[in-house]
């Protein structure tokens, strides 16, 4: 599959649109169309149902160290500025960027890729355009233009085999930037704050500055005590939240994979310190299994443990669930979800003040006067276990998933092309989205075979009955074969056709999107039949 084919289908069928498109669009922001909003809502609903709503705390879950409880929150997007100072975001939430003095463009340092190329006695590092669909095509085109070659002379370019990150290059004087005509136009990398700044209050000044949250997790941590005091949850338990987050990405790219506004699905799981490693392994494996159960091919997924050098200063361990997105070079994966063992960093930070790692120990960071650089709330965020009579600061396991990235992965996985008979019985190319039925935006479509003999009226009645239970589409325009194709293209798993036999015995034809199998079902059993199959 070419990524451009999926992007075109998403616009054509109303899954995704560029934000503010009639004004030229706004980079890094996307709008979900009529089908896209249903798909994303189904992804979020499946996550909430599977992780929270249907969790039975009285039953020991498979591979879980013990029974546990789950609950939820919905926290505000704008929080007290001190939250982000104690969490470390205010000081540490930066990406390194490089500026091009010629094109005036800015790029994320760790996202630029290139190859060393020799030609006409020169050896230069040619960078590809991070917005291009294919790194190699972009690099080749840039090299051809720089060395002023025609197509017939392409063999004069001698590329090194390995695609390298700009981070591996120490001498920028031999680097050709993505949109530059000459070498050495890139400035040294520097830090760029990723948080969106805002002012609270109509007449607010700099003292009233705050930020749009870059993650949903901190709202859970600062409400930890409220949840304990207002409910009967006992450790171990998890608090789940879904919501918008904002990061001022330098180079948003690859469709919705890296956006400036996105939605997260996060769990903060609180447990007794001695059991935290077991809970980390449980959540890591359970979250991986969730994606495969909803249709992501296991060979396109991998669970990668972070190397020690990759870990955040507070992290005991982190694993990424990664997916082989089609816009990445062969063999590369993009992060789908992170599962982090955060230790007691978060609760201690919001209690004591911003912490730093000194020789393997978390300590409050001090200013030049020997006082806490950023003071915590002073509230006691420890937990007292009335059965063991012990008090401790819980450890936290954080499975953090992006609703937009998950939706994109399910879209990429669902896209298929095959051949199927058209309305005349001729085998032709068919584009279809093979969503898991739980995720499909439309669960079923209802057609009258022809627009006469009372079939449209009967089909309309059946449509009304089905629509009370799940999203259903009605279509009576064009040949029935074309109507099937339209539903295949948006991922509808089942099509129901009212025909002449329906008028005789009350049965309808049900067609399966993937197998093309057809069978007859009594009208009164139809809703139950579809419901059974979409779960």
pLDDT tens by residue, 9-65: 999 999 999 999 999 999 889 999 999 999 999 999 999 999 999 999 999 999 999
* pLDDT for 111: 86
- In the prediction, which pLDDT does 313 show? 67
Dist. CA 191–CA 173, nearest whole Å: 21
- Token digits for 22? 């009639």
Other residues' Cβ atoms within 10 Å of the Cβ of residue 38: 20
E-assigned strand segments in 78-171: 94-99, 106-108, 113-119, 122-127, 158-159, 164-165
CA distance 129 to 231: 52
Assign 3-class secondary structure to 407-461.
HHHHHHHHEEEEEEECCCCCEEEEEEECCCCCCCCCCEEEEECCCCCCHHHHHHH
Burial class (CB in 10 A: 0-12, 13-18, 19+), 158: exposed
Most confident of 130-134, 193-197, 482-486: 482-486
Cα 358 to Cα 313, 344, 366, distances in angstroms = 9, 15, 12
d(CA 45, CA 194): 29
Buried b (16+ CB within 10 A) or exposed e, 194-228: bbbeeeeeeeeeeeeebbbbbbbbbbbbbbbbebb
Phi-psi map region of 311: left, alpha, beta (phi>0 left; psi -120 to 50 alpha) = beta
- The arithmetic mean of pLDDT across residues 371-399, rounded, is 94
pLDDT in the model for residue 422:
72
The token pair at 434 is: 């093979």
Each residue's pLDDT tens digit, 143-165? 999 999 998 999 999 999 899 99
Report strand pairing: 190-193 vs 94-99.
Answer: antiparallel
Q: CA gyration radius for the chain?
A: 27
Burial class (CB in 10 A: 0-12, 13-18, 19+), 329: exposed
C-beta pairs of 116-123 under 8 Å, 24+ apart in sequence: 116/159, 116/160, 116/164, 117/143, 117/157, 117/158, 117/159, 117/160, 118/157, 118/158, 119/143, 119/147, 119/149, 119/156, 119/157, 119/158, 120/147, 120/156, 122/147, 123/174
Cβ(63)–Cβ(282) below 8 Å: yes
pLDDT at site 96? 87
Plot region of 199 (φ>0 → left; ψ -120 to 50 → alpha; else → beta): beta
Cβ–Cβ under 8 Å, residues 353 and 359: no
Buried b (16+ CB within 10 A) or exposed e, 360-390: eebebbeeeeeebbbebbeeebebeeeeeee
Read off the pLDDT of each residue in 195-212 and give the average, rounded to a whole number. Answer: 82
Residue 128, SS3 per DSSP: coil
Q: Tell how strand 472-474 and strand 444-448 pair up.
A: parallel
d(C-alpha 407, C-alpha 151), whole Å: 40
Q: Is the backbone peptide bond immediately before 430 cis, with ω within 30 degrees of 0?
A: no
Q: Is 90 exceeded by the pLDDT of residue 359?
A: no
Question: 46-62 pLDDT, tens per residue?
Answer: 999 999 999 999 999 99
- Average pLDDT of the chain to the nearest whole number: 92
Enter the pTM of the model.
Answer: 0.84
**How far apart (Å, rounded) are the C-alpha atoms in residues 196 and 517?**
52
CB atoms within 10 A of CB 292: 12
- pLDDT > 90: what percent of the chain? 76
d(CA 463, CA 508): 12
Q: What average pLDDT does range 405-423 have in this prediction?
A: 90
- The model's pLDDT over 96-132, given as tens digits with 9 standing for 90+, comes to 889 999 999 988 888 899 999 999 999 999 999 987 8
pLDDT score of 443 more than 90: yes
When pLDDT is averaged across residues 367-383 and rounded to a whole number, the result is 92
Distance CA 114, CA 122 (A): 16
Choose among 492, 482, 480: nearest CA to 534.
492
């Amino acid at each position: 599959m070419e990524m451009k084919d999926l992007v075109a289908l998403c616009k054509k069928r109303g899954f995704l649109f560029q934000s503010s498109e009639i004004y030229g669009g706004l980079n890094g922001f996307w709008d979900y169309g009529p089908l896209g909003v249903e798909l994303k809502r189904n992804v979020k609903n499946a996550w909430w149902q599977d992780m929270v709503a249907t969790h039975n705390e009285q039953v020991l879950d498979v591979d879980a160290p013990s029974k546990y409880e789950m609950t939820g929150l919905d926290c505000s997007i704008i929080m007290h500025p001190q939250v982000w100072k104690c969490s470390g975001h205010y000081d540490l939430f930066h990406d390194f960027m490089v500026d091009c003095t010629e094109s005036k463009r800015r790029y994320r340092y760790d996202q630029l890729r290139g190859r060393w190329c020799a030609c006409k006695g020169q050896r230069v590092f040619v960078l590809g355009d991070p917005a291009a669909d294919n790194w190699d095509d972009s690099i080749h085109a840039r090299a051809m233009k720089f060395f002023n070659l025609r197509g017939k002379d392409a063999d004069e370019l001698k590329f090194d085999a390995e695609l390298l990150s700009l981070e591996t290059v120490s001498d920028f004087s031999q680097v050709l930037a993505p949109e530059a005509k000459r070498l050495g136009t890139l400035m040294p990398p520097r830090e760029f704050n990723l948080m969106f700044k805002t002012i609270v209050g109509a007449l607010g000044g700099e003292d009233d500055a705050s930020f749009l949250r870059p993650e949903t997790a901190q709202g859970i941590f600062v409400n930890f005590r409220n949840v304990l005091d207002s409910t009967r949850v006992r450790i171990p338990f998890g608090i789940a939240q879904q919501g918008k987050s904002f990061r001022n990405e330098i180079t948003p790219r690859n469709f919705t994979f890296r956006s400036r506004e996105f939605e997260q699905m996060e769990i903060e799981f609180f447990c007794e310190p001695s059991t935290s490693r077991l809970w980390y392994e449980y959540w890591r494996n359970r979250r991986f299994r969730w994606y495969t159960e909803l249709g992501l091919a296991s060979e396109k997924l991998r669970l990668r443990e972070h190397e020690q050098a990759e870990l955040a200063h507070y992290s005991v361990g982190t694993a990424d669930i990664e997916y082989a997105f089609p816009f990445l070079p062969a063999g590369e994966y993009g992060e789908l979800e992170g599962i982090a063992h955060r230790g007691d960093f978060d609760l201690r930070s919001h209690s004591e003040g911003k912490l730093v790692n000194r020789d393997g120990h978390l300590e409050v960071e001090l200013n030049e006067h020997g006082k806490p650089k950023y003071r915590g709330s002073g509230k006691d965020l420890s937990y007292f276990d009335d059965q063991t009579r012990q008090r401790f600061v819980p450890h936290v396991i954080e499975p953090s998933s992006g609703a937009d990235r998950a939706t994109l992965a399910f879209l990429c996985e669902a896209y298929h092309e095959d051949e199927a008979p058209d309305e005349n019985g001729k085998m032709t190319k068919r584009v279809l989205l093979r969503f898991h039925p739980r995720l499909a935006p439309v669960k079923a479509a209802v057609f009258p075979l022809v627009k006469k003999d009372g079939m449209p009226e009967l089909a309309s009645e059946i449509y009304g009955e089905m629509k009370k239970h799940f999203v259903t589409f009605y279509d009576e325009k064009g040949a029935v074969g074309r109507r099937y194709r339209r539903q295949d293209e948006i991922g509808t798993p089942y099509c129901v056709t009212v025909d002449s036999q329906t008028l005789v015995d009350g049965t309808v034809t049900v067609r399966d999107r993937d197998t093309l199998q057809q069978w007859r079902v009594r009208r009164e059993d139809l809703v139950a039949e579809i419901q059974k199959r979409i779960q």
